[in-house]
A and B are shown apart, each in its own frame.
Chain A
Amino acid sequence: MATTIVDLQPRYSVARHAGWVRISHWILAASVVTLAFSGFMILMAHPRLYWGKVGNDLTPALFELPITRNYMHGGWTTPIAFFPNNSAVVSAARTYDIFNENSWARSLHFLSAWFLVVTSLIYLVVGLATGHLWRDLVPRLREVSPRTLWRDVMSHLRLPMPVARGGPPYGSLQKLAYAGVILIALPLMVLTGLTMSPAVTAAYPLLMDLFGGSQSARTIHFFAFALLMLFLLVHVVMVALTGFRHQIRTMTIGN
């Protein structure tokens, strides 16, 4: 009697994602969505971004986002210079009632940041201990050669996409995206976020030097947010294109 490959598979099904991966995935997903929402609320109070140590309505912006009535509101008294020899150091009082929902948005931002930081730390420790990070997520050199990457990009452009089994092993682009988010983007978000804190930078002023100032850190925080949102969009689209029900099953009940 010929033994088929199917017969060799165990009767019980093996989880495509480990339990701790599934739990941390959804806690992180909820944290990231809440952080993005509350972070955008915070950005709306002052939709101007700067480069360097300081920046405010009376100094030039790197760029200004046309969101909320705060955009270029111009509601300031006539600026008065502090020093006779420096016309840039002025003071002016605000005459405009700005949009500001930071009371709850800031507290919600930091509450969800705690969930993100604690879950990420546990994830990284378990990921290192079990070898998941190194085995499944960190791309090998040959996987990021131009040839391999090109082939992977082309295969992602062919529709319909084949239904994925869910879980590792991952392709080159998947590894780059996941490792990039977990090992680079999220730590960068936390560090640039902390660089805006007067208490944290008092203890670790090195953070301000690392990012070129607290306002530069805020701008990097914004661009990293934009990249993470791009990742989230592509991630959800790829899940939808490669067998949505099956993919959601493997990340929730495991198989």
Chain B
Amino acid sequence: MNKDKLIISRRKIVTGLASTGGLLLAGCSSPDLPPTYGNVLRMGDLLTYRAFRMLLPRQSLVREYDHQDISASPAIGTSNPADPQGNLFNAERGARYDRLRAGGFADWRIKVEGRVARPGSYSLADLKALPSRTQITKHTCEEGWSAIAQWTGVPLRAVLEASGMLPSARFVNFYAYDETAEGLDMLDALHPQTILAYGMNGRDLPLAHGAPLRLRIETQLGYKSVKFLDRIVVKDEFDDLGKIGSLQNGWAWYVGI
């Protein structure tokens, strides 16, 4: 009797382990998780994402620095979306960006779409009318370097709330004026230090750093902080963002490390 129980529980354990492993390895069926495409590197990324979410306290604040800690800041990747020589140039959006920049971004508006009760768009003045947050934080690039800068912007949470984000929403995706898109889960999207920044080191966001508006996601590496924002899309399920997303280009989607 006892032995039977033992066998059953052991079988349960084995089945449990196998299904957990299966979920982790196959991973693709869940709409709440980044897909692995059967690629062992993406499985490792998924393990890191799940382990970080499971083991780390939720929404810890990153360290904020003093004004004297502000360092030089390299600008890499696209430095002007209107430049046809750029690696990630998009003709239609590049031309639109050029016109908006010529007008001092007076006609620039960011669109907020998807799973929100009030889809719409916000001008820079609209965003500046919402609560603002200024933070001196460290930008860590996947290449190995880092930089400390002061960022001023509106908490992403304030914009999502103003747009009436639906309770079923799970991911927030960001599309840029170049061929770039990134996504965040709700934990990072609603993090108090996740802001849409329009200011850097006390002035308007410089062109090469993503003017007029960029994302700052402080708990992940630099490439998640999309520059030159055009559009924010709220989703219920994971979206790998196709050819312009990091995943299909071979890069990890979650880069808390």
Residues of B within 8 A of A203 (CB): 56-57, 60
Which one, B15-23, B139-147, B232-240, is touching chain A?
B139-147
Q: Determine the chain B residues whose CB is within 8 A of the CB of A100 once the complex forms.
A: 143
Q: Are A91 and B203 in contact (CB under 8 A)?
A: no
By a CB distance below 8 angstroms, the chain B residues around A218 are: 144
User: Can you list, as one digit per residue, whether each of A82-114 has a CB less than 8 Å from chain B (1) or not (0)?
Assistant: 110000111111100110101110111011001
User: Do B147 and A54 have beta carbons less than 8 Å apart?
Assistant: yes
Check A55/B252 contact, CB under 8 A, given A89-B201, A93-B75, A110-B44.
no
Question: Do A57 and B145 touch (CB < 8 A)?
Answer: yes
Q: Which of B201, B208, B255 contacts A82 (CB 8 A)?
A: B201
What number of A-B contacts does a CB cutoff of 8 Å give?
157
In B67-91, the 8 Å CB interface with A consists of 69-76, 79, 87
Contact flags B220-241 to A (C-beta < 8 A → 1, else 0)? 1100000000000000000000
In the complex, which residues 235-257 of chain B have their Cβ closer than 8 Å to any Cβ of chain A? 249-252, 255-257
CB pair A45 B71 closer than 8 Å: no
Residues from chain B with Cβ under 8 Å of A97 in the complex = 87
Taking A106-B252, A201-B62 as given, write out 8 further A-B residue pairs in contact, using a Cβ cutoff of 8 Å, ordered by the A residue number: A43-B144, A45-B144, A93-B208, A103-B250, A106-B255, A110-B45, A196-B140, A214-B146
13 A-B pairs in the complex with CB atoms less than 8 angstroms apart: A46-B145, A82-B73, A82-B203, A91-B209, A93-B79, A103-B251, A104-B41, A106-B142, A111-B45, A114-B51, A198-B138, A199-B220, A203-B57
Contact: A201 with B63, CB < 8 Å? Answer: yes
The 10 A-B pairs with the shortest beta carbon distances in the complex, nearest first, are A199-B256, A111-B44, A46-B144, A58-B72, A56-B145, A197-B257, A107-B41, A93-B79, A103-B250, A93-B208
- State which of A76, A83, A108 has its C-beta within 8 Å of the C-beta of B74: A76
Min CB distance A109 to B, Å, is: 9
Q: How far is the CB of A44 from chain B (nearest CB, A)?
A: 10
Interface centre among A42, A57, A89 (most CB of B within 10 A): A89
Is A79 a contact partner of B148 (Cβ separation < 8 A)?
no
Minimum CB–CB distance from A73 to chain B (whole Å) comes to 12
Q: How far is the CA of A70 from the CA of B153 in the complex (A)?
A: 34
| B147 with A56: CB separation less than 8 A | yes
Closest to A111 in B: B44
| Interface residues as binary, B128-156 with A (CB distance below 8 Å gives 1, 0 otherwise) | 00000000001011111111100000000
Chain B residues whose C-beta falls within 8 Å of the C-beta of A56 in the assembled complex: 71-74, 141, 145-147
Kindly state the separation between the CA atoms of A46 and B145 in the bound complex, as whole angstroms. 7
Q: How far is the CA of A214 from the CA of B202 in the complex (A)?
A: 25
Is A59 engaged at the interface, CB distance under 8 Å to the other chain?
yes
* Contact partner, B250, options A48, A93, A104, A201, Cβ 8 Å: A104
- Whether A194 lies near B257 (C-beta < 8 A) is yes
- B208 and chain A: residue at smallest CB distance: A93
Tell me, rounded to whole Å, the shortest Cβ–Cβ distance linking A80 to chain B.
8
Report B-chain residues with C-beta under 8 Å of the C-beta of A43: 144
A116 and B148 CA atoms in complex are apart in Å by 32
CB nearest to B142 among chain A residues? A102
Please give the distance in Å from B229's CB to the nearest CB on chain A: 18
- Could you tell me if A111 and B201 are in contact, using CB atoms closer than 8 angstroms? no
Give Cα A28–Cα B45 distance, bound, in whole angstroms. Answer: 20
A48: B residues at CB distance < 8 A? 144-145
B202 neighbours in A (Cβ, 8 Å): 82-83
Q: State whether the Cβ of A53 lies closer than 8 Å to any Cβ in chain B.
A: yes
Residue in B closest to A96 when the chains form the complex, CB atoms: B76
Of B48, B71, B146, chain A has the most CB atoms within 10 Å of the CB of: B146
Q: Chain A contacts of B252 at CB under 8 A?
A: 106-107
Q: List residues of chain A with CB within 8 A of the CB of B249.
A: 103
| CB interface residues, B 152-206, toward A, < 8 Å | 200-203, 206
Known: A104-B250, A198-B220, A200-B56. A111 touches B206 (CB 8 A): no
In angstroms, Cα B76 to Cα A76, docked, is 10
Cross-chain contact B209 with A199 (CB below 8 angstroms): no
Q: Which residue of A lies closest to B209 (CB)?
A: A91
